[in-house]
């Protein structure tokens, strides 16, 4: 079968052009993912009709989703998940799930959604990959506030993927079976991680890795992709979701890749270059191509967008109240705004939901639209509030340096 690459060419060109265009307007602070999805809608069947999702686009898009979740797992900083930070983050997520269930049943009572639990899980995640750069820009990644937000987002991302795979999978199985399969996947993943950890202790193997890591072999990058594809294959063979295997692969790599000798400080940069440079933009542009724009032509669907946006704020924002006492009230407000940012998980989860029939096309379109608005507005608003707080604080007076005479007894 001869493959055509015209559709893939257009999708790749859009993935290249979106961040390039934004680079000419740095003050706009629009995340590239927003423009990629919107551009995908524009070139897709819903608008200009230039592109359709054929085999090459579908395959690379699926890889983009897996790598996106892989890198999300890679961002979890387990060393910071301890003490009060861990306790508050866990309590916050439990509160988030409780609020999500209430919100889900409220939408169900109004006849708006098919499955309230599915909606609750979709609303429980936060876009850690979008927020980390914002926190870095504000110089808050190492502060108590930044650590709380990162820990809360890490737990939310991980737990949301687990819950989605546990209760909603393309393979129809009982919850007990899903728990057993999930336990099996986690056990195998831990054994793989321990094996990798043990192998890396070999001086001979470490020497070979150092020798090959920056050659054309790029041995560490290849090993990371073997781990990713291996756990994705295992997850699908067990009837679990691809995103779960990919996310766990990233988390395992985070735990085992702790080279104290710093023999390869650019390892993760290489993985991000492959992911964000090649596959992930194709996934987001393809998401736009597949977007059901006609579903938004209905006034009732348009009305759901602000409702779902408010639901995000309620489910992910209100739990920031548990941070009271650990950070200031102003920082607590910023945490609530930032934690309400969500898009990649919404896109992935609603795609699964459509496949198994627990969400309508209209609700999928409205949820993704709400996620787009959250990514567009909340991080920029949170950064603006952080900067305003920093400028409003009085500057500390310079230390008084005694003169020679004053310093004498």
Between these two residues, 258 and 320, which has the higher pLDDT value?
Answer: 320
Per residue, the 3-state secondary structure of 345-404, as one string, reads: HHHHHHHHHHHHCCCCHHHHHHHHHHHHHHHHHHHHHHHHHHHHHHHHCCCCCCCCCCCH
- State pTM to two decimals: 0.74
Say whether pLDDT at 402 is over 70. Answer: no
Q: Is 161 helix (H, G, I), strand (E, B) or coil?
A: helix
Measured between alpha carbons, how far is 156 from 342 in angstroms, rounded to an integer? 11
Measured between alpha carbons, how far is 409 from 403 in angstroms, rounded to an integer? 12
Between these two residues, 133 and 353, which has the higher pLDDT value?
Answer: 353
The first and second tokens of residue 73, run together, are 């797992």
Res. 381 pLDDT band, cuts 50 70 90? confident
Measured between alpha carbons, how far is 281 from 33 in angstroms, rounded to an integer? 8
Span 375-393, average pLDDT: 77
**Of 76-80, 188-192, 291-295, 297-301, minimum mean pLDDT range:** 76-80
Would you state the pLDDT for residue 328? 85
Between these two residues, 9 and 152, which has the higher pLDDT value?
Answer: 9
Say whether pLDDT at 404 is over 50. Answer: no
Would you state the pLDDT for residue 173? 58
The first and second tokens of residue 253, run together, are 């790599």
Q: Is 324 helix (H, G, I), strand (E, B) or coil?
A: strand
Span 231-259, average pLDDT: 78
Res. 172 pLDDT band, cuts 50 70 90? low
Span 13-40, average pLDDT: 84
pLDDT tens sequence across 335-372: 898 889 888 788 888 888 888 888 888 888 899 889 88
Would you state the pLDDT for residue 2? 64
Would you state the pLDDT for residue 216? 86
Res. 401 pLDDT band, cuts 50 70 90? very low
pLDDT tens sequence across 31-40: 777 788 889 9
pLDDT winner (highest mean) among 21-30, 65-74, 197-206, 314-323? 314-323
Span 245-253, average pLDDT: 83
Mean pLDDT of the chain: 81
């Amino acid at each position: 079968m001869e493959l055509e690459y015209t559709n893939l060419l257009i999708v790749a060109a859009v993935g290249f052009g979106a961040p390039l265009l934004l680079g000419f307007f740095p003050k706009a602070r629009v995340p590239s993912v927003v423009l990629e999805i919107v551009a995908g809608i524009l070139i897709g069947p819903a608008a200009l009709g230039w592109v359709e999702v054929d085999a090459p686009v579908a395959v690379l898009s699926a890889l983009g989703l897996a790598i996106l979740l892989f890198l999300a797992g890679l961002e979890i900083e387990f060393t910071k998940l301890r003490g009060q930070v861990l306790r508050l983050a866990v309590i916050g997520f439990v509160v988030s799930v409780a609020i999500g269930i209430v919100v889900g049943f409220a939408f169900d009572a109004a006849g708006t959604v098919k499955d309230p639990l599915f909606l609750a899980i979709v609303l429980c995640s936060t876009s850690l990959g979008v927020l980390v750069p914002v926190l870095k820009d504000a110089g808050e990644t190492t502060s108590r506030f930044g650590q709380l937000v990162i820990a809360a987002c890490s737990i939310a991302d991980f737990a949301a993927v687990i819950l989605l795979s546990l209760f909603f999978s393309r393979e129809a199985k009982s919850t007990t079976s899903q728990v057993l399969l999930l336990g099996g996947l986690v056990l195998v993943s831990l054994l793989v991680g321990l094996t990798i950890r043990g192998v890396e202790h070999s001086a001979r193997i470490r020497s070979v890795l150092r020798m090959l890591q920056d050659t054309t072999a790029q041995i560490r990058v290849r090993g990371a992709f073997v781990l990713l594809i291996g756990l994705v294959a295992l997850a699908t063979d067990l009837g679990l979701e691809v995103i779960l295997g990919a996310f766990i692969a990233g988390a395992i790599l985070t735990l085992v890749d702790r080279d104290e000798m710093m023999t390869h400080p650019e390892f993760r940069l290489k993985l991000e270059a492959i992911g964000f440079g090649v596959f992930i933009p194709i996934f987001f542009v393809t998401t736009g191509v597949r977007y059901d724009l006609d579903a938004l032509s209905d006034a009732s669907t348009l009305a759901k967008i602000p409702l779902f946006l408010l639901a995000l704020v309620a489910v992910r924002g209100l739990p920031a109240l548990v941070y009271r006492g650990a950070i200031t009230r102003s920082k607590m407000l910023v945490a609530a705004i930032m934690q309400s940012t969500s898009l990649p998980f919404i896109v992935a989860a609603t795609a699964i939901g459509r496949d198994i029939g627990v969400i309508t096309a209209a609700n999928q379109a409205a949820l993704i639209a709400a996620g787009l608005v959250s990514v567009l507005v909340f991080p920029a608003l949170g950064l603006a509030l952080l900067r305003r707080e920093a400028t409003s604080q009085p500057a500390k007076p310079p230390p008084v340096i005694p003169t020679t005479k004053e310093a004498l007894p």
